[in-house]
Structure 1
Amino acid sequence: MTTPVPFPYEAQPVSAEFQKRMSAAYPVFDPVGLAPFGPTGYIMPADARPFLEQHYNAPVGPDDVWIVTLPKCGTTWTQEMVWLIKNDCDYESAKCLLSPDRYHFLEICAITATQCREEIRQGQNPVSKRLMFTPLQERPEPRFVKTHLPLHLCPPTLLDTAKVIYVARNPKDMCVSYFNHLKVFEERDPNMSIDEFANLFIAGEVSQLPFFPHVLEAWNQRHNPNMLFLFFEDLKRDLRGCIKKVADFLGKSLTGEQLDGLESHLIFSSMKKNPWVNKSVILAYSPLTAEQLAAKEASSQKTEFMRKGETGDWKKHFSKETSAKMDAWIDRELAGTEIKFVTG
Structure 2
Amino acid sequence: MPLRSDDIFVVTFPKSGTTWTQELVWLIGNDFNYEKAAAKLLTERFPFLEGSLFFNGEKAKKALLDSCNGDVVKMKILEEMSKPGYEVVEKLPSPRYIKSHLPLSLLPPSLLDTTKVVYVARDPRDVAVSYFHHNRLFTLGGFTGDFEQFWESFHKDMLDWTPYFEHLKEAWDKRNHPNMLFIFYEDLLKDLPEAVRRVAKFLNKPVNDEQLERLCNHLNFHNFKNNKSVNNEPMREFGFLAENESFIRKGKAGGWRDYFDEKMAAQAQRWIDDNLRGTDLRLPQKN
Q: In the alignment, what sits opposite 1:54?
A: none
Secondary structure, counterpart of 1:261 in structure 2: helix
> Residue 307 of structure 1 corresponds to which residue in structure 2?
249
* Conservation of the 8 A alpha-carbon contact between 2:56 and 2:82: no
Instruction: Pick the aligned partner of 1:144 from 97, 104, 123.
Output: 97
Q: Shift of residue 284 of structure 1?
A: 2.8
The whole-number CA distance in structure 1 between the counterparts of 2:91 and 2:12 is 23
Q: Structure 1 residue 72 and structure 2 residue 26: aligned? A: no
Aligned-partner Cα distance in 2 for 1:203–1:79? 29
Note the residue ranges of structure 2 that are not aligned, 5 or more in a row: none
Contact 1:170 1:343 in 2 (8 A): no
Q: Which letter does structure 2 place at the counterpart of 1:280?
A: E
Residues 272 and 214 (structure 1), Cα distance of their counterparts in 2 relative to 1, 3 Å cut: same
Residue 286 of structure 1: how far off its partner (Å): 1.7
Q: Which residue of 2 aligns with 1:8?
A: none
Q: Does 1:196 align with 2:149?
A: yes
Amino acid across the alignment from 2:276: L
**Letter aligned with residue 323 of structure 1:** A
85, 89, 92: which one pairs with 2:35? 92
Q: Which structure features the higher share of helix residues?
A: 2
Which structure 2 residues correspond to residues 42-53 of structure 1 after superposition, within 5 A? none
Q: Does 1:169 align with 2:111?
A: no
Whether the aligned pair in 2 keeps the contact of 1:169 and 1:231 (CA below 8 Å) is yes
Shift of 1:119: 4.9
Task: Report matched runs for 1:217-236 at 5 Å.
Answer: 217-236=170-189
Contact 1:63 1:142 in 2 (8 A): yes
State whether residues 72 and 178 of structure 1, in contact with CA within 8 Å, keep that contact through their aligned partners in structure 2.
yes
Note the C-alpha offset of 1:110. Answer: 2.3
How far has the Cα of 1:331 moved from its partner?
0.6
Which consecutive unaligned segments of at least 5 residues does structure 1 have?
1-57, 288-292
Give the residue type in structure 2 aligned to 1:104. Answer: P
Q: Which residue of 2 aligns with 1:257?
A: 210
CA apart distance, 1:328: 0.5
Q: Deviations over 1:74-118 (max 9, x none)?
A: 110010000000111010111134443201210012244603146
Report if the CA contact (8 A) 1:243-1:259 is conserved: yes
Q: Which stretch of structure 1 is more off in the superposition, 199-208 or 162-171?
A: 199-208
Query: Equivalent of 1:271, from 213, 224, 229?
Result: 224
Q: Give the one of 7, 10, 26 matched to 1:83.
A: 26
Query: SS in structure 2 opposite 1:104?
Result: coil
Structure 1's 266 and 193: CA in aligned 2 closer, same or farther, altered over 3 A? same
Partner residue in 2 for 1:286: 239
CA-to-aligned-CA distance 1:138-170 (integer Å, 9 cap, x gap): 111111100000111101111110000000010
Maintained 8 Å contact 1:97/1:277: no
Provide the aligned C-alpha RMSD in A.
Answer: 1.9
Task: Write the letter of the residue equivalent to 1:130.
Answer: E
Partners of 2:237 and 2:150 in 1: CA distance: 27
How much does 1:216 deviate? 0.2
Q: Is residue 157 of structure 1 aligned with residue 110 of structure 2?
A: yes
Correspondent of 1:248 among 174, 180, 201: 201
User: Matches of 1:130 and 1:264 in 2, distance apart?
Assistant: 33
What is the TM-score with the length of structure 2 in the denominator?
Answer: 0.90
Displacement of 1:281: 2.0
Higher alpha-carbon deviation: 134-143 or 256-265: 134-143
Contact 1:166/1:227 (<8 A) preserved: yes
Q: Tell me, yes or no, if the aligned pair for 2:47 and 2:89 is still in contact at 8 Å.
A: yes
Task: Note closer, same or farther for the CA distance 1:75–1:343 as it changes in structure 2 (3 Å cut).
Answer: farther
* CA distance in 2: counterparts of 1:142 and 1:69, whole angstroms: 20
Which 10-residue stretch deviates more, 200-209 or 226-235?
Answer: 200-209
Q: Is 1:324 the counterpart of 2:283 in the alignment?
A: no
Say if 1:67 and 1:165, in contact at 8 Å, map to a contact too.
yes
Task: Classify the secondary structure of the residue corresponding to 2:11.
Answer: strand
Structure of higher RCO (CA pairs closer than 8 Å, 6+ residues apart): 2
Contact 1:105 1:131 in 2 (8 A): no
Residue of structure 2 in register with 1:108 after alignment? 51
CA distance in 1, matches of 2:38, 2:10: 20
- Write the letter of the residue equivalent to 2:60: C
Aligned to 1:14: none
Q: Whole-Å Cα distance in 2 between the matches of residues 120 and 96 of structure 1?
A: 26
Q: TM-score w.r.t. structure 1 length?
A: 0.76
Name the SS of the counterpart of 1:95 in structure 2.
Answer: helix
Question: Are 1:68 and 1:165, in contact at CA under 8 Å, matched by a contact in 2?
Answer: yes
Distance 2:173 2:98 in 1: 21
Q: CA distance change for structure 1 residues 333 and 170 in 2, over 3 Å: closer, same or farther?
A: same
The offset of 1:135, in angstroms, is 2.2
| Equivalent pair of 2:118/2:183 in contact (CA under 8 Å) | yes
Contact 1:173 1:343 in 2 (8 A): no
Conserved in 2, the CA contact under 8 Å of 1:283 and 1:303?
A: no
